[in-house]
A = this chain, B = another copy of it.
Amino acid sequence: MRATLIHGPGDIRSEHVPDPELVDDGDAIVRVVAACVCGSDLWPYRGDKSDTEPERIGHEFVGIVEQVGNAVSALTVGDFVVAPFVYSDGTCAHCRNGVNTSCVAGGFWGKPDGDGRLIDGGQGEQVRVPFADQTLVATPGEPPAAMVPALLGLSDVMGTGHHAAMAAGVRAGGSAVVVGDGAVGLCGVLAARRLGAERIIAMSRHAPRQEVARAFGATDIVEARGDDGVKAVMDLTDGIGADSVLECVGTGGSMQQAIASTRPGGHVGYVGVPHDVVLPIGTMFGNNVSVGGGVAPVRAYLAELMAEVWEKRLDPSPVFDLELPLDRVAEAYAAMDERRAIKSLLWA
């Protein structure tokens, strides 16, 4: 089959690799229908990659169940499924606590599992899925083609934006700021609206992203950053700051922006993989600003969000503004790296 490998900074290739086979009784083989490129895939693409060996890459995909192991009971060959961006056993204490990303037996796509056996990446034609019954969530029936991008959004970005909103304590009638206008930040806007925030301030200086943010429910756009950005948020919130701030970037500057924009007693929910983030404990303490979130356990939210996508009440698909066939994955990365695309979808 074809799969995507990263050979080094800026070096993404679509290559022929062995087809996956069932290994454990709980495995399923999924034929990928669509995958996509994540903002976090850009970190190794931009040079934050320590391994010297080529590695499979991609952690977001939807597809059709093609084979199932003997122990698989919840899924049937032919099911359309959404894969969350980590696999998990669904039964350990952490999974039961809704933190599937900390599953004792789980892991990331494209990496070896605990026994050193490769788990396929998501940007390929097929994926062997461990703990298939627990990892995958099937749609109620075959989705129309037009719904596939929205379902693919549940694999990571929509669930991650929702996690930021939950961690930030977004409530009906409250105010929210979203720092970051990537696909996750935009989904954070959508999640905040879904949770009933009355005022949603999106921080963005890119017209096409501002447009998506407004379509997703942003009531205000702030282009300024740093102290000017904080001042703009303060002006919009009567000098109080926002109840909830969603930090969807992961840099020191974005976290600083987030914390300074939060009202005393408010909450920052962060989902951007932290790079050079130093938390200002003094400000946090003095203002009672909490910081929560982390790697989003999207599996825990999948059924709830999928039901709304299925009923066409939730649609994160506008974050995909570039669609390419899987073998043109290198172009998909380049377009995101150069900010020509918000998020690239790959048809397998």
Q: Which A residues fall within an 8 A CB radius of B?
A: 93-94, 97-99, 101-102, 167, 238, 240, 263-265, 267, 270, 273-274, 277-279, 281-282, 284-295, 297
Question: In the complex, what residue of chain B is closest to A267 when comparing beta carbons?
Answer: B292
Closest to A99 in B: B265
Copy count, this protein chain: 2
Contacts of A267 in B (CB 8 A): 292
Q: How far is the CB of A283 from chain B (nearest CB, A)?
A: 9
Write the nearest CB–CB distance from A94 to chain B, whole angstroms: 5
8 tightest CB-CB pairs across the interface, nearest first? A290-B292, A102-B264, A288-B294, A99-B265, A279-B279, A99-B264, A285-B294, A274-B281
Q: Are A288 and B295 in contact (CB under 8 A)?
A: yes
Name the prevailing secondary structure of the A interface residues. Answer: mixed
Instruction: Offer 27 A-B interface pairs, CB within 8 angstroms, sorted by A.
Output: A93-B238, A93-B240, A93-B263, A94-B240, A99-B265, A99-B287, A102-B264, A102-B288, A273-B285, A274-B285, A277-B281, A278-B278, A278-B281, A279-B279, A284-B291, A284-B294, A285-B294, A285-B295, A286-B294, A286-B295, A287-B294, A288-B295, A288-B297, A289-B292, A290-B291, A290-B293, A291-B292
Q: Which of B94, B167, B279, B289 contacts A264 (CB 8 A)?
A: B94
Q: Are B294 and A94 in contact (CB under 8 A)?
A: no
A265 and B295 contact, Cβ closer than 8 Å, known pairs A274-B285, A279-B281, A281-B279:
no
